[in-house]
Homo-oligomer: A and B are copies of this chain.
Amino acid sequence: MSLRHAILGIVSARPMTGYELIRTFANSVAYTWAAGQAQIYPELHKMEHEGFLTAQAASRGASEKRVYSITAAGGEELRRWVEATTRYPAERDVARLRATYLELAPATSRTFFEQHLAHYTALLEKLELRRLSVEQRSGPLLQARLATRPAAEHAAIIAFKAHGVAGQIERTKAEIAWAQAGIELVDRLAAG
């Protein structure tokens, strides 16, 4: 149940609407914890109901929008969750499972690794940009977060976020290397 903690983490930087939150999930957070709008709106309601968020109605022409802020209880819950022990989820890796049975598909085995390579190459590019934006402290959400915290904490905030992205980058590079080695393997097997 980390969706709510991902939400708390974002809203702890600054108050925002559900829509803004959804866009944030589609961008920066997407590489760590993906969530779609069908999950986010109901969760916001639940979290408001449980006292982790408060919503203020803001006018938007004729209609209204709801701006969510984190409450003291919400901040407490986020901290409690960060301090708790990680429960590592069971491994579930479709690509690797398919790769295990690639002898059944000699015609498409090379394509499999080419697509794996393409997928993670594209991801790597986005992650490198993200790393830059964290290290340079550009990115409006990070700036908003820093503005709420004392300057003495800034180094740690940046360091942990950059370290997180760095970990994703290394994992992604491992996938790229695996795909490249896979292509070589397929060619070697084809050569006989």
Minimum CB–CB distance from A25 to chain B (whole Å) comes to 10
The 8 Å CB contact of A103, one of B95, B96, B99, B153, is B153
A74 at the B interface (CB under 8 A): no
A6 part of interface (Cβ distance < 8 Å): yes
Nearest Cβ in chain B — how far from A122, in angstroms? 10
Binary B-proximity of A54-86 (CB < 8 A = 1, otherwise 0): 000000000000000000000000110111011
A3 to chain B: closest CB distance in Å? 9
A71 to chain B, nearest CB (A): 16
Distance A76 CA – B33 CA, assembled complex (angstroms)? 35
Chain B residues with CB under 8 Å of A119's CB are 86, 88
> Is A50 in contact with chain B by the CB < 8 A criterion?
no
Nearest-neighbour CB distance to chain B for A91, whole angstroms, equals 5
Do B159 and A189 have beta carbons less than 8 Å apart?
Answer: yes
Q: Tell me the dominant secondary structure on chain A's binding face.
A: helix
Let me know if B116 and A164 touch, CB within 8 A.
Answer: no
Are the C-beta atoms of A160 and B102 separated by less than 8 Å? yes
User: In the complex, A137→B82 CA distance in Å?
Assistant: 43
- Smallest beta-carbon distance A153→chain B, Å: 6
* Complex CA–CA separation, A43 to B94 (angstroms): 18
**Chain B residues with CB under 8 A of A100:** 9, 32, 160-161, 164
- A30 and B78 contact, CB distance less than 8 A: no
Contact A174 B178 (CB under 8 A): no
Residues 92-107 of chain A: 1 if any B CB is under 8 Å from the residue's CB, otherwise 0?
1111111111111111
Q: In the assembled complex, how far is the CB of residue A187 from the closest CB belonging to chain B, in whole angstroms?
A: 12
